[in-house]
């Protein structure tokens, strides 16, 4: 992790570095009246682990499909290793690995058969296939389930198989659409360990996730909202720019507290975290907020800011 | 690895995957192999245009030697059976109820008129609800009555003119001979279009198309990989249908078997291409099934000349039938199986089938865009 190349700091449009692995240049794509991508721009350097974070419907899947050359764009340009994935032909596609969000394997084929099919699509020599699949089966611990049909795998095992299929040809660039969605915590940790290993070996990885806490594990994160990038940069650097103060609200009646906070302009974000309520308030306005909460028998306890606070505050700021 | 090598490896990957899908889904095999045979048996035994033992009511108003001789002449063969010998009211009631299909009325002075050298007039009442049936009854009665009049004129003398009819290729006018080649075409068309219509739309529905498009596999490689296994299955189906026709319905193959399968191959390629085109456009298995069934079933049943002679169609339908590949295959199948026709006669059919197959496959491949949206 510490050897990771420094990410381009902040800003929605970052400078195009020479030899960037992935570039989204002002991507626009509309589905009917919805602008799924609305001028999305970002760059992922070679060997980076880039996390595209955003809520459901923010445009993550469309962005990944645009980078894989799977959709037509209304405007803008997507580049994979400097080439247009839609026109680049076989060369681009051989350097690309994709793990789609929804089921994309053949349910009636077994684990081994799915692997073999994708290996043949990439024209992998038999010996190389045996070697790589053995290693991938070992890492994903799918070895004992070789003969199990894909539709009989659990959610986590299915995702791991999909990842293994996308990794067989050793792509230079790996695109993962919500790889951890619907995966149990243990498998999730394994998946992340595997991703770090791949990046360590020089692979460029772009993944999308709705989970804010996963953002901290990336070299670089981008916050996508309504098809645009609101924030991008190295996680720690981004957090350092966060000017709000974060608190946990203790005590009080939840509904009354919510109402009381909604009327305050100083409160930039509020999110329930378990039984407590987390809020981000403008720097120096804690006193005002505490004063407003006092009659409701609630008080503030300072906590360290995290990504969720930053992102929620930024999204709310955007909406205002 | 060279480019052509890679091409072959990918086509092989797609094809062998398709074979696994087929082997694991018994419905596909049933649809491809069992359904055509079952349908061939049902149609072959069930659909018959040969009429015999037609129920006939006799209204003999004369009851003379001459009238009885006429009734005997009509009912002597296997064409007609006398359902009743009754009056007009009963005859009409029986026709209305479907107990009889025709009534033969002989007037009271039939024998006297004949003896006096006048024309003996008899009346035939036919159930005209089914035009085909009515026509057959008219033709059969006409022939029988004509024979009876000739016999009456002079038993010894040779009739001045005689027409001897030789029906070539199907002398007994057996429906099976006429139907089986046509049916084979119809069944192949449905199965081929449906099978491929389902396979590409299945990739869309499973979500696997996304993974395929992100991989280096080309559109032509996908199309060919999908086509080859079903082409093999289709040829197996053709073999089965022809074999059932030969064994059970005694349908001959008078021409070249190799030519038969070559024409079948061209026809199948076109039908598979049509299914592919549908599923490339439809993207959902439900829509693809319906469009596939309609686009293969109706034209190959109605416009191919399988049931209705193309010469009898209105001009506009004749023109339409000229772009239906089934028309050429029906013509070629009947030619090869019944007439023993060879390439010198059937080459136009081969050209037409080749053009259709190439055009539809090109259309399917170009319309097959490498985009999810």
Quote the pLDDT of residue A148. 96
pLDDT higher than 70, residue B165: no
- Cβ distance B20 to A109 less than 8 Å, yes or no, reads yes
C-alpha closest to that of B237 among B306, B193, B187, B292: B187
3-state SS, residue A3: coil
Among A6-15, B57-66, B317-326, the range scoring the smallest mean pLDDT is A6-15
> According to the per-residue pLDDT averaged within each range, which of A6-10, A11-15, A49-53 is highest?
A49-53
Model confidence pLDDT, tens digit, residues A268-281: 888 887 778 888 88
One domain, residues B198 and B270: yes
Has residue A320 got a pLDDT over 80?
Answer: no
- B103 shares its domain with B223: no
Q: Is residue B333 part of a domain?
A: yes
Asked whether residue B217 falls in the same domain as residue B143, the answer is no
Which residue, B123, B153, B183, sits at the end of a domain?
B153
Instruction: Answer whether residue B168 is part of any domain.
Output: no
Query: Based on the structure, what is the number of domains in chain B?
Result: 2
Are B73 and B103 found together in one domain? Answer: yes
- Domain of B238 in residue numbering reads as 3-47+174-367
Residues B40 and B78 in one domain: no
Which of B6, B20, B373 faces A71 most closely, judged by CB atoms?
A: B373
Please check the confidence at residue A17 and state whether its pLDDT lies above 50.
Answer: no
CATH number assigned to the domain comprising residue B116 = 3.40.1710.10
Dist CA A230 CA A70 (whole Å): 24
Whether pLDDT at B181 is above 60: yes
pLDDT at A3: 40
CA distance A179 to A202: 20
B179 lies in some domain? yes
Indicate the pLDDT class of residue A283, thresholds 50, 70 and 90: confident
Residue A141 has pLDDT above 70, yes or no: yes
Residues of A in contact with B1 (CB under 8 A): 123, 125
| Domain C-terminal end among B103, B119, B153 | B153
Same domain, B38 and B61: no
Q: Are residues B187 and B306 in the same domain?
A: yes
Which of B43-52, B79-88, B257-266 has the least mean pLDDT? B43-52
Within this chain, do residues B219 and B245 fall inside the same structural domain, yes or no? yes
Based on the domain organization, do B92 and B132 belong to the same domain? yes
Q: Please give, rounded to a whole number of angstroms, the shortest distance from the CA of A211 to a CA of chain B.
A: 24
Query: B216 near B7, Cβ under 8 Å?
Result: no
Residue B163 located in a structural domain: no
Output the pLDDT for position A9: 40
Indicate whether B212 and B336 sit together in one domain: yes
pLDDT at A211 over 70: yes
Which residues on chain A are in Cβ contact (under 8 Å) with B29? none
Residue B335 DSSP symbol: I
pLDDT of residue A10 exceeding 50:
no
> Do B75 and B38 fall into the same domain?
no
Closest chain A C-alpha to B224 CA, distance in angstroms: 14
The residues, ordered by sequence, that sit 6+ positions from A140 with a Cβ below 8 Å of its Cβ are A157, A160, A161, A163, A164, A190, A194
**Which domains are present in chain A?**
1-95+173-240 (3.40.50.300), 102-170 (no CATH), 243-304 (3.30.70.100)
- pLDDT (tens digit, 9 = 90+) per residue, B329-342? 999 998 998 888 88
pLDDT tens digit sequence for B1-43: 788 999 999 999 999 999 999 999 888 888 888 888 888 888 7
CB contact under 8 A, B10 and A93: no
Quickly state the pLDDT bin for B173 (edges 50, 70, 90): low
Query: Which residues face A98 on adjacent strands?
Result: A175
Asked if B250 and B176 count as a contact pair (C-beta separation under 8 A), the reply is yes
Tell me what the pLDDT averaged over chain B comes to.
85
Give B13 to chain A, closest Cα distance, Å. Answer: 6
Q: Is A297 on the interface with B (CB under 8 A)?
A: no
Nearest CB to B372: which of A65, A96, A166?
Answer: A65
pLDDT at B159: 53
Q: Are residues B109 and B15 in the same domain?
A: no
Nearest CA in chain A to B24: A108
Average pLDDT over residues B142-152: 80
């Amino acid at each position: 992790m510490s050897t990771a190349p420094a990410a381009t700091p902040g800003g929605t449009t970052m400078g195009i570095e020479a030899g960037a692995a992935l570039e989204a240049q002002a991507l626009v794509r509309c589905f009917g009246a919805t602008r799924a991508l609305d001028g999305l721009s970002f760059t992922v350097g070679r060997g980076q682990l880039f996390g595209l974070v955003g809520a459901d419907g923010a445009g993550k899947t469309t962005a990944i499909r645009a980078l894989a050359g799977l959709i037509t764009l209304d405007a803008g340009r997507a580049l994979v290793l400097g080439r247009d994935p839609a026109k680049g032909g076989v060369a681009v596609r051989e350097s690309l690995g994709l793990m789609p969000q929804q089921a994309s394997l053949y349910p009636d084929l077994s684990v081994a058969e799915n692997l073999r099919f994708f290996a043949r699509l990439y024209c992998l020599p038999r010996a190389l296939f045996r070697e790589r699949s053995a290693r991938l089966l070992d890492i994903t611990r799918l070895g004992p389930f070789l003969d199990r049909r894909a539709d009989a795998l659990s959610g986590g095992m299915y995702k791991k198989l999909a990842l293994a299929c996308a990794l067989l040809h050793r792509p230079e660039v790996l695109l993962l659409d919500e790889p951890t969605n619907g995966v149990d915590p243990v498998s999730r940790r394994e998946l992340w360990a595997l991703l770090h290993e791949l990046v360590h070996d020089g692979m460029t990885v772009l993944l999308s996730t709705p989970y804010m806490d996963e953002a901290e594990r990336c070299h670089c994160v981008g916050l996508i909202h309504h098809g645009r990038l609101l924030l991008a940069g190295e996680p720690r650097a981004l957090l350092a720019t966060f000017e709000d103060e974060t608190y946990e609200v203790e005590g009080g009646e939840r509904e009354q507290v919510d109402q009381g906070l909604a009327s305050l302009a100083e409160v930039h974000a509020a999110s329930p975290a378990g039984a407590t309520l987390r809020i981000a308030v403008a720097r120096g306005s804690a006193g005002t907020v505490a004063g407003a909460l006092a009659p409701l028998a609630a008080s503030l306890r300072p906590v360290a800011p995290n990504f969720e606070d930053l992102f929620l505050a930024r999204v709310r700021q955007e909406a205002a | 690895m060279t480019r052509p090598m890679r091409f072959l490896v990918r086509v092989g990957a797609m094809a062998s995957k398709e074979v696994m899908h087929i082997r694991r889904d018994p419905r596909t095999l049933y649809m491809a192999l069992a359904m055509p045979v079952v349908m061939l048996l049902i149609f072959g035994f069930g659909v018959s245009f040969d009429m015999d033992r037609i129920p006939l009511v006799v209204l003999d108003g004369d009851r003379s030697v001459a009238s009885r001789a006429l009734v005997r002449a009509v009912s002597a063969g296997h064409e007609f059976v006398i359902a009743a010998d009754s009056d007009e009211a009963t005859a009409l009631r029986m026709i209305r109820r479907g107990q009889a299909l025709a009534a033969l009325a002989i007037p009271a002075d039939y024998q006297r008129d004949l003896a006096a050298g006048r024309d003996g007039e008899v009346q035939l009442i036919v159930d005209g609800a089914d035009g085909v049936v009515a026509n057959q009854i008219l033709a059969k009665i006409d022939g029988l009555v004509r024979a009876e009049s000739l016999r009456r004129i002079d038993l010894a003398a040779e009739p001045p003119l005689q027409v001897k009819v030789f029906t070539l290729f199907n002398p007994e006018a057996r429906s099976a001979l006429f139907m089986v080649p046509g049916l084979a075409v119809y069944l192949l068309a449905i199965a081929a279009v449906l099978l491929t219509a389902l396979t590409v739309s299945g990739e869309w529905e499973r979500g696997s198309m996304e993974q395929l498009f992100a991989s280096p596999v080309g559109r032509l490689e996908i199309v060919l990989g999908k086509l080859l296994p079903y082409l093999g299955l289709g040829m197996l189906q053709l073999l089965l249908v022809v074999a059932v026709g030969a064994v059970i319905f005694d349908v001959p193959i008078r021409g070249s078997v190799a030519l038969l399968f070559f024409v079948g191959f061209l026809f199948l390629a076109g039908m598979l291409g049509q299914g592919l085109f549908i599923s490339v456009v439809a993207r959902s298995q439900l829509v693809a099934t319906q469009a596939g069934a309609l686009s293969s079933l109706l034209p190959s049943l109605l416009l191919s000349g399988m049931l209705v002679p193309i010469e009898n169609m209105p001009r506009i339908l004749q023109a339409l039938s000229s772009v239906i590949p089934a028309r050429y295959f029906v013509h070629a199948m009947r030619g090869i199986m019944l007439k023993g026709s060879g390439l010198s006669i059937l080459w136009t059919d081969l050209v037409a089938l080749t053009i259709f197959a190439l055009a539809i496959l090109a259309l399917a491949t170009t319309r097959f865009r490498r985009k999810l949206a």
